Amino acid sequence: MPADHITFPSATPFSCFSLAGQTALVTGAAGGLGRAQCLALGTAGARVIVSDLDPEAAEETCVSLREHAIDCSPLELDAAGSSSIDAAFDALEACGDSPDVLVNNAGVSLRNSALEATLEEFDTMLSVNLRGTYFTAQRAARAMRKRGGGRIINLASIGGLVVDGERSSVYDASKAAVVQVTKNMAYEWGRHGIRVNAIAPGYMRTAMTADLVPDLAEEHRLVDTHIPLGRIGEPSDLGGAVVYLASAASAYVTGHTLTVDGGWVVAL
């Protein structure tokens, strides 16, 4: 075969990004990053299960997505509670529903210095960012194993790869753990046809990061000192990454953490 001949098994270069006929479950879907990923997955053809700890916010997100002709349904799921995770998956399985794709997007960021961080802050961030990610993935993987495979995408952070600023020790620790469990899950579950990857966003313009970028002066400082692409990220910047990792376009990719950070990490 000529060296420049490329084949795309069972898909054209463009159709391999299609999610038609697939169901994607997104946690923390009512937040800025969650909504953006729901929109991207739905636009690629997936039916989206919009899960959030606030059922009204999940329904409001569905209303917004339906304006884009996206097939979606709300689901109450509190990633901090194992009983809520089990109840959500039990409800899905009771009606014969099971996601082909899980996006573990739910997370919290409570910033404090390593000298002042409290036990409550520590427990809250670890319970949502790590424990919630872990056990939501576990429930999804059990169902995916029975069906012959699936894709799991965990939301990490550049803080899981590098120190992204002061007052970040607990948050960064939780996200570093997400990076590592993504590797472990990919290693264990690959034999079941389950691919597990992570996305590590940089600073994105969301309500969660509002206190980190309180004004234009601070934004300009961050951009000038850390971001080669010259701007703070927008939630929509995650769209291509999540579709890629959810689709056949990444069929031979697992255990990987994809940075979407405008070049922050490489600029260090």
95-127 burial: b if 16+ Cβ within 10 Å, else e:
eebbbbbbbbbbbbbebbeeeebeeebbebbbb
Tokens of 150: 């699936």
Parallel, antiparallel, or unpaired for β 194-201 and 150-155? parallel
- CA gap 205, 31 in Å, rounded: 11
- Length of the chain counted residue by residue: 268
Asked if residue 165 lies in contact with residue 114, where contact means CB atoms within 8 angstroms, the answer is: no
Burial bucket for residue 74 (CB in 10 Å: 0-12, 13-18, 19+): buried
In whole angstroms, what is the distance from residue 50 CA to residue 124 CA?
22
> Tokens 């004004």 label which residue?
215
Please identify which of the residues 171, 187, 244, 252 carries the catalytic annotation.
171
In the annotation, is 171 catalytic?
yes
- Determine the Cα–Cα distance for residues 31 and 206; give it in Å rounded to an integer: 8
DSSP state of 241: H
Three-class HEC string of 138-150: HHHHHHHHHHCCE
Strand 72-76: give its sheet, edge to edge: 72-76, 47-52, 23-26, 101-104, 150-155, 194-201, 257-260
Helix (H, G, I), strand (E, B) or coil at 25: strand
DSSP 257: E
Report the catalytic residues: 171
